[in-house]
Amino acid sequence: MQQPAGFGSLLDSRVLKRKIMFVQISALTLLCSLGHASLPLVINTWPFKNATAAAWSVLQSGGSVLDAVEKGCARCEIEQCDGSVGYGGSPDESGETTLDAMIMNGDTMDVGAVADLRRIKNAIGVARAVMERTDHTLLVGESASVFAENMGFIAEDLTTNRSLNTFSQWLKGNCQPNYRKNVFPDPSISCGPYKPRVTLQRRKRVRHMYRHSHDTIGMIAFSQDGHVAAGTSTNGLMHKVPGRVGDSPIVGAGAYADSSAGAAAATGDGDVMMRFLPSYLAVELMRAGADPSAACETAISRIKRHHSEFFGAIICANTTGHYGAACNKSPGFSKFQYMFQNRPH
């Protein structure tokens, strides 16, 4: 029998007839678990329930945790979850959509990742191909796309009418917001092309509150016997400088998995979060005995000490099937939602 379903919230505890648990936490409020901890387990960032269901179906049919993570993230790529995963979302300064993804095997510590991937919709599949068809960890840009095509992935246009319209509106708005600094013309009021200013000016980092431009899917899957894998997929930051890579494909930042300790996956402002390797930190804290909730909170708090208003969240799970999450309260973001599915004792 599968986990009885419900809607978990600090504000609402109604029980609904669904097979997948949806959890909402207030910022820096932690939930160690809902119900009994058990394996197998699938947990992912944001309320992407079809991705959860796809991964759980793989585990239920005897598939591996790598298969589960790949299928779960691929479901979001197909469905263009929140416009922040898959094709047709988050156009960069040139109007192009590019993809980042990563997958990690917690048994072998093997990792495959791609960044700035063009023309290929199945980024998580290409990441797995990097892991299984090369001795490398990360391939980027046009070379990653050529590799994917050589491995049999279909080249397709990632642009849609929606992304074209988003790009057009951005241009009409004098390219606001953007992520340039210390350049001229003044990037706060003008489009490029930009040239470097002679002198550098230190200024507080400008926050651009696009919650949906940060909605990476990060997923963790545990098998009944404790094997674990983790993965991520995203189309990155809307209006980013071409070539920008965030935290999602960076091992230890976007996600991390170790079958002897647990796994974690992060979502949010990747340019900040990747500097602190929150997923790696959370897993090492669980290895040292911290419960998943405490590990998540510590990972978030460490970033908060340096960037008090950063946008971000993390999910954590240990080898016993306990799980938790934490997020940082910032303007426009006070609650974090995630999904999980497990089997009761």
Determine whether 160 is an active site residue: no
The answer to whether 325 and 23 have CB atoms below 8 angstroms apart is yes
SS (H, E, C) the chain: CCCCCCEEECCCCCCCCCCCEEEEEECCCCCCCCCCCCCCEEEEECCCHHHHHHHHHHHHCCCCHHHHHHHHHHHHHHHCHHHCCCCCCCCCCCCCCCEEEEEEECCCCCEEEEEEECCCCCHHHHHHHHHHHCCCCEEEHHHHHHHHHHCCCCCCCCCCHHHHHHHHHHHHCCCCCCCCCCEECCCCCCCCCCEECCCCCCCCCCCCCCHHHHCCEEEEEECCCCCEEEEEEECCCCCCCCCCCCCCCCECCCEEEECCCEEEEEEECHHHHCCCCHHHHHHHHHHCCCCHHHHHHHHHHHHHCCCCCCCEEEEEEECCCCEEEEEECECCECEEEEEEEECCC
Cα 207 from Cα 192, distance rounded (Å): 20
Query: What is the identity of the amino acid at 115?
Result: A
Cα 109 from Cα 258, distance rounded (Å): 7
CA angle at 43 for the pair 224 and 57, rounded to the nearest 5°: 60
CA atoms within 13 A on the CB side of 165: 3
Q: Which two tokens stand for residue 140?
A: 């980027």
- Which of 52, 97, 166, 216 is the catalytic position? 216
Residue 75 has a CB neighbour count (10 Å cut-off) of 25
Active site residues: 216
